[in-house]
Amino acid sequence: MKSLFDQTQLAGMTLKNRFIRSATHDGFADEKGHMTEELFQIYENLAKGGVGAIITGLTYVSDLEEPYPGQMGIYDDSFIEEYKRLTEMSHRYNAKIILQIVSLGSQTSPSTSGKVMWGPSAVTDLGFKTTPQEMTAQDIILVQQAFAEAALRAKKAGFDGVQLHVAHGYLLSKFLTPYYNRRSDEYGGNIENRTRMVRETYQAIRDKVGPDYPVLIKINCDDFMEQGLTFADCKYVCHKLAELGVNAIEVSGGISSSRPGEGTIRTITAEQGSYFRTYAAEIAGEINVPVILVGGNRDFAALMEILKQTTIEYFSFCRPLIRESDLIKRWQSGDLGRSKCVSCTKCFRLDGTRCIFNQK
């Protein structure tokens, strides 16, 4: 029988259990995206805390766009040495570490220093109220190359893989969303065209890092908004990426303009449990790529049930590990009490991550 503490192989990576820290932007990098001691400490606590793998916070691949305050970067080779220290530390605790790479698109503040804001089309972001410039064919190539170079740097720095952020309304996610993608060229229109940016970006990464390096994606099962990405669209994208060799799919959902109560972490409460379970289970049943379920995972027994009843292989956590970085160690010791996170959402700030209950 399967167990949450099974040792498994994910694209050649040996994971000591099925628990993963989902990407979490902490806001503790310096103003150029470099590591700080505080950030290093957060990762060391996570690595000690028992997860099989850590996915880093969203890390920007090009400094042509305005990052979030304190966002991690990987836009040039100067990052390789400091990230080696991070990956070596993580490996000392037998925790794999995966770099999440992103282009923010219009989900950032307007730049005061002449940086660009890219979008599939010049459509104002309903949440951030920012309007990007429509990307030209040259911009598209530039961004795809930036992703590919970032992934190669990640490999050189010792990360066990990269995760392409295709969820939550960031640039790649926006290409999939009809409301934000109004293009009339081969990158817009039907789902085949709207998937092209993600497919080509994935392929550019794959060409750089080689066939064996783990490349994961995080994707919305649904945008939960009018003219948003639908679940049928999501499955289409997952099938296409599976054909291209993607190594794992983390199923999330929602966007800053989602309908209240559906999908976004701002409105989902602890009582709702693993709220993308049905979507992730259907994807896992249809597609022969390991699926990671994120969102609302709090209760050990409930996760065991999902593991038994579905073909979902992995479970990832964000807020529970902000509240309690050693949750997995606690569960492993036999104390199976549910996560202390009450999903109050107060940790969701762009200027640093602290749980109000155990603020240090």
Ligand X SMILES: Cc1cc2nc3c(=O)[nH]c(=O)nc-3n(C[C@H](O)[C@H](O)[C@H](O)COP(=O)(O)O)c2cc1C
Q: How far is the CB of 101 from ligand X (least distance, A)?
A: 10
Q: Which is nearer to ligand X, 272 or 332 (CB)?
A: 272
Complex with ligand X: residue 317 or 331, whichever CB lies closer = 317
**Residue closer to ligand X (CB basis): 129 or 349:** 349
Which pair of structure tokens corresponds to residue 75?
């836009």
Nearest CB to ligand X, comparing residues 28 and 183: 28
* Cβ count within 10 A of residue 6: 14
Minimum gap (Å) between residue 44 Cβ and ligand X? 18
Residue 258 beta carbon to ligand X: minimum distance, rounded to whole angstroms:
13
Minimum CB separation of residue 274 from ligand X in Å reads 9
Residue 327 CB, nearest distance to ligand X (Å)?
Answer: 10
Nearest to 73 by CA among 38, 101, 46: 101
Tell which residue, 228, 312, 226, has the closest CA to residue 274: 312
Token pair belonging to 302? 């409930």
- Pick between residue 183 and residue 283 the one whose CB is nearest to ligand X: 283
Vertex 304: Cα angle to 300 and 306 (nearest 5): 115
* Residue 188 or 347 having the CB closest to ligand X: 347
Distance from chain centroid for Cα 29: 18
What's the min distance (Å) between Cβ of 132 and ligand X? 19
Which residues make up the interface to ligand X (CB under 6 A)? 22-25, 57-58, 100, 165, 167-168, 218, 252, 265, 294-297, 317-320, 347-348, 353
Residues 264, 291: Cα–Cα separation, whole Å = 20
Question: Shortest Cβ distance from residue 339 to ligand X (Å)?
Answer: 8
State which residue, 100 or 310, has the beta carbon closest to ligand X.
100
Q: Which is nearer to ligand X, 188 or 322 (CB)?
A: 322
Distance from C-alpha of 52 to C-alpha of 75, rounded to nearest angstrom:
27
CB of 250 to ligand X, least distance (A): 8
User: C-beta of 255: minimal distance to ligand X in Å?
Assistant: 12
Closest CB to ligand X among 98 and 183?
Answer: 98
